[in-house]
Amino acid sequence: MKPSVGVFICHCGNNIAGAVDIEKLKANACAEGAECVEDHPYLCSAEGQSLIKDRVNALGLERVVVAACSPNVHERTFRECIGEAGLNPYFLDIANIREQCTWVPSEDPTGRAADIIRSSINAVRHARPLDNITVKAEKSVLVVGGGIAGITAALALAKQGIRVHLIEKSPTIGGNMVKIGKVFSPDKLTEDCSMCSLAPIMSEVAKNKNIEIKTRSKIAGLKGHAGDFSVTVEHEPGFVDTKKCTSCGQCASVCPSLTDDEWNAGLCARKAIYKPFPQAIPAAYTIDEKACKKCGNCVKACGAGAIDLEATPFKETLHVGSIVIATGHKELDPSDKYELGYGKYEEVITQTELARLLAVNGPTSGKLEIPSTGKAPQRVVMIQCVGSRDEKPGSIPYCSKICCMVALKHANYIKDHFPGTEVYICYTDIRATGSYENYYREVQKKDVTFIRGRVGEVLKNEAIVVRVEDTLGGGPVELEADMVVLSCALEPSAGTIEAARALSIGLTPELFIKEKHPKLDPASTTARGIFVCGTAAGAKDITESILQARAAASKVAELVSAPIEIEPKFAVIDYDKCTSCGACIKLCPYGAAYSNGRISIDPLSCIGLGGCILRCPEHAISLPGSSDSELYARIDGMLKGEPKMIAFLDENIAYVAADNAGVNRIPYPSSVRIIRVPSIMRLEPKHLIYAFERGAAGIFLGDGTTNSPEGAIRANVAKRVEELKRAVAVAGIDPLRIFYYEAYLPHYRGLASRMERFDQELSAMEKPPCPIASCEKRTAEIK
């Protein structure tokens, strides 16, 4: 028993009524077996909608076709309308007879409109009831990395009532910002103490009840999907109970073992049992296992009984709704750049080492001196772009963004605090963007000498000599120096690469975390539900890290703070057919398919392209609203009479471009009949063969999703088009009857002209071979 269908045709004032014969269309609709056929000047009006609802209720209509403007204008309106009348909102189909019919200059708009309406009537009879689903994510987040980005994100989320697990690899949070000593301030034209800004935030994190800090912790593995992750976290022992430790320091005074102090860039030593720095959080001592001799002196000395040398590593599993990666960066190690003498000459240091030297809490208590000799330098030469903007092996091709400002900051500080010291900066470009230009100008005024040239090498010939060209006319220069400071590139930290591997998310060629769409979706990674912020995603300064941390926090909040309603546009698995072969898991570019006992599709990650449908060997996957029967029905509806060009257009780009063509009254061939699909990846050979055997002269495939952040992958689309062409060739149809066009939203003229061109090519070919009668057997076989 076919469900009863009501067809409502809108005049749209004169937009539709002025171009087509409404009465004829009504008669056609009746002829198709519609139980109710009405027309109205403005169906979208309150009166028009009332008409629909009245008819539905009065006649017990089970399906509704609205023949009017584009679904992109009022589909939602009419769904709500029939919903109010008691019908499932997805029992509606819109016949686009305005943008894609009456607004397109052509010979027989009435004929075209009749086809479009018939197609909708056919399809709506196959519609299934659908509902939005609600996804409730775990209201918690794992933040990986406790630097400025991680703790900003953690606080932003905690303050919204979201539970935060903050894990950090080292014994304390704080990250690279702890080491830099000073931050530059463009409005004050001076340097602020970085710890003064950072430590209060660190304290806040410690005090916030919604944040649990776990230091000496790393990600070991991941299961699950957005909203429902199970993360395995590994904890290394610090051998000191941070709750019992009072930071009295007795343990360190009796510890016999010394090692390099990494918080001072290795420029001085610390004990194996140590507190990283006074403001460390957790505020406790910790033991460096590699340096520890296990002598037990500290245990004896500890009045609080906080030390347990037998502590062991352990793992735990955390259930969280979302993950934020904030694993930071490291300074490139210039030891392999033999031509710069780092590691060979004690006078050559990095900007981080200089920052520690100039820091009041550093190894020299803020005195500028050459680390090994203790002498104050007369001339400091800074070398920019060490390992940055460099395509040679061992370097990074991009600009590290902050090193120009770091050099200016240190130059300014040295000039202010160590007057009489000469400072030279050898640069390729000075990148002081925005109001940082003021800073650059002020530093120039302090008599810092700028040489525009990328340094070739640093040698020792009696004195240290820096070889550079003054490209602004001075020629090759041999600059003597007694301290050389290398402004090294920012590289991804080891933790960043480890986290990416553990979470199976994409990395850029330089091994930073790959942002899903660096321009339009910068805090997202390639995995739904996992976000990134800070230098883990690429070189940036503190301000940008904070901005990105807040962006990531905002995205986490969208996901986890309240249940999310999702439209039923995602793929669904029929478990009667699924054999758990896992093919869909391997091929989905969005990682939407996952195994969880059985194969599942994450509604949050699936964007509904339908590419997986063809690939499932058991044909167990389907897209609601785009079932095989609906597609066949639409094709049937379009193909009555003369051979037509069926145009399958993706709903987001190509279909909208076609609407735009109509809005601009651009003509395209009268034979074109447009069918909206999620993407042409939904199409299978059987659909095309069906269309040809029902009398289609040609099939136009338009898809523009490859240009947007959430769309098909271009290579996959090209592959699919080739596959479709081959399959129809095997079925005896000329593959030149298929035309693929990569659509662009603004290029609706291009869409029209391609259809025109294809139409001409088709006219040059022989008439399509297939009369409808002999097809029916074949189509029955295909179905």
Partner 1 sequence: MRIALKKQVIVNSDHRLSHVCGFEKCMQCGRCTASCPAALIYDDYRPRDVMRKLQLGDIDSVMPYLWRCGQCYSCAARCPRNNSVGAGILALREKALATGVAPENIKAVASLIHKNLHQRGETFLPYMLDFIGEFGPRTTMRCRDNGNRRVRLGFDRDDARMQPIPADSMAEIRSLMEMTGYKGDNDA
Partner 2 sequence: MLNALQAVPKDNYYLFKSCVTCSIYPGIEKSIRYVLDRLEANYTDDPRHSSCTGFGYHAGVVPLKTNLALNARNFSLAACSKDKNIVCTCPTSYGNLKECKEILSRDKALRDDTSGALAKIGKSFDISSGVNHVSEIFLARLDDIKAKAIHDFRGVKAVTHHGCHYSKIFYKDVASGNFERPTVVDDIAKGLGCEVLDYSERSLCCGMGFHYTMLDREYPRTILKRKFASIKKEMPDLIITQCPGCTFNLDYYQETLAEAVGSLDIPVLYFSELAALALGADPYEIGLDMHAVPVEPLLERLGMIGGKR
346 contact choice in partner 2, partner 1, none (CB below 5 to 8 Å, kind-dependent): none
Residues 668-707, interacting with partner 1 (CB under 8 A): none
Closer by beta carbon to partner 1, 399 or else 713 = 399
Q: How far is the CB of 456 from partner 1 (least distance, A)?
A: 3
Q: How far apart are CA 675 and CA 178, in angstroms?
A: 59
Rounded to the nearest angstrom, the gap between the alpha carbon of residue 269 and the centroid of all alpha carbons in its chain is: 42
Contacts for 23 with CB less than 8 Å, ≥ 6 apart: none
Question: In whole angstroms, how far apart are CA 358 and each of 355, 361, 402, 411, 520?
Answer: 5, 9, 18, 11, 39
Closer by beta carbon to partner 2, 467 or else 615 = 467
Residues 381-400, interacting with partner 2 (CB under 8 A): 392-394
336 contact choice in partner 1, partner 2, none (CB below 5 to 8 Å, kind-dependent): partner 2
Q: Say whether residue 312 binds partner 2 (CB under 8 A).
A: no
Place of tokens 């304390």: 172
For the chain, the first-to-last Cα distance in angstroms comes to 20
Q: Say whether residue 720 binds partner 2 (CB under 8 A).
A: no
460 contact choice in partner 2, partner 1, none (CB below 5 to 8 Å, kind-dependent): partner 2
Q: Say whether residue 106 binds partner 1 (CB under 8 A).
A: no
Contacts for 209 with CB less than 8 Å, ≥ 6 apart: none
Q: Per the structure block, which two tokens stand in for 496?
A: 């960043």
Q: How far is the CB of 430 from partner 1 (least distance, A)?
A: 13
Answer for which of 111, 150, 453, 768 binds partner 1 (CB under 8 A) is: 453
| Among the residue ranges 3-11, 465-473, 579-587, 770-778, the one whose residues contact partner 1 (CB under 8 A) | 465-473
Q: How far is the CB of 407 from partner 1 (least distance, A)?
A: 16
List, as one string, the DSSP characters of 198-254: HHHHHHHHHH-TTEEEEESEEEEEEEEETTEEEEEEEE---SB-TTT-----HHHHH
Q: Say whether residue 24 binds partner 2 (CB under 8 A).
A: no
Residues 325-364, interacting with partner 1 (CB under 8 A): 339
Closer by beta carbon to partner 2, 395 or else 449 = 395
* Closest among 539, 535, 528, 533 to 505, alpha carbons compared: 528
Q: Say whether residue 629 binds partner 1 (CB under 8 A).
A: no
Answer for which of 107, 108, 457, 761 binds partner 1 (CB under 8 A) is: 457
Question: If you count them, how many residues does the chain have?
Answer: 783
461 contact choice in partner 2, partner 1, none (CB below 5 to 8 Å, kind-dependent): partner 2
Answer for which of 209, 313, 365, 461 binds partner 2 (CB under 8 A) is: 461
Answer for which of 417, 460, 501, 783 binds partner 2 (CB under 8 A) is: 460
Q: Say whether residue 390 binds partner 1 (CB under 8 A).
A: yes
Judge whether 93 and 3 are in contact, CB under 8 Å: no
Q: Say whether residue 480 binds partner 1 (CB under 8 A).
A: no
Closer by beta carbon to partner 2, 200 or else 394 = 394
Q: How far is the CB of 394 from partner 2 (least distance, A)?
A: 7
391 contact choice in partner 1, partner 2, none (CB below 5 to 8 Å, kind-dependent): partner 1
| Among the residue ranges 264-272, 366-374, 446-454, 500-508, the one whose residues contact partner 1 (CB under 8 A) | 446-454
Q: What's the helix, strand, coil split of the chain in %, to 5?
A: 35, 25, 40
Helix (H) or strand (E) holding 698: strand 696-703
Helix (H) or strand (E) holding 46: helix 46-59
Closer by beta carbon to partner 2, 55 or else 337 = 337
Q: Say whether residue 457 binds partner 2 (CB under 8 A).
A: yes
* Closest among 165, 180, 148, 519 to 326, alpha carbons compared: 148
Paired with 144 in beta bridges are 167, 325
Judge whether 299 and 120 are in contact, CB under 8 Å: no
Q: Say whether residue 478 binds partner 2 (CB under 8 A).
A: no
* Closest among 638, 491, 597, 663 to 115, alpha carbons compared: 638
Residues 326-355, interacting with partner 2 (CB under 8 A): 336-339, 344
Q: How far is the CB of 458 from partner 2 (least distance, A)?
A: 10
Q: How far apart are CA 116 and CA 680, in angstroms?
A: 20
Closer by beta carbon to partner 2, 337 or else 682 = 337
476 contact choice in partner 2, partner 1, none (CB below 5 to 8 Å, kind-dependent): partner 1
Question: In whole angstroms, how far apart are CA 226 and each of 153, 166, 223, 500, 552?
Answer: 18, 18, 10, 16, 14
Closer by beta carbon to partner 1, 484 or else 743 = 484
Closer by beta carbon to partner 2, 216 or else 337 = 337
Judge whether 237 and 313 are in contact, CB under 8 Å: yes
Per-residue interface string for the shown chain with partner 1, residues 416-445, x marking contact by CB under 8 A:
------------x-----------------
Cis peptide before 419 (omega within 30 of 0): no
Rounded to the nearest angstrom, the gap between the alpha carbon of residue 450 and the centroid of all alpha carbons in its chain is: 40
725 contact choice in partner 1, partner 2, none (CB below 5 to 8 Å, kind-dependent): none
Question: In whole angstroms, how far apart are CA 19 and each of 112, 328, 406, 642?
Answer: 11, 63, 68, 21
Closer by beta carbon to partner 1, 35 or else 470 = 470
Judged by the rule CB under 8 A, the positions of this chain that interact with partner 2 are 336-339, 344, 392-394, 457, 459-461
Judged by the rule CB under 8 A, the positions of this chain that interact with partner 1 are 339, 385, 389-392, 395, 428, 452-457, 467-471, 475-476
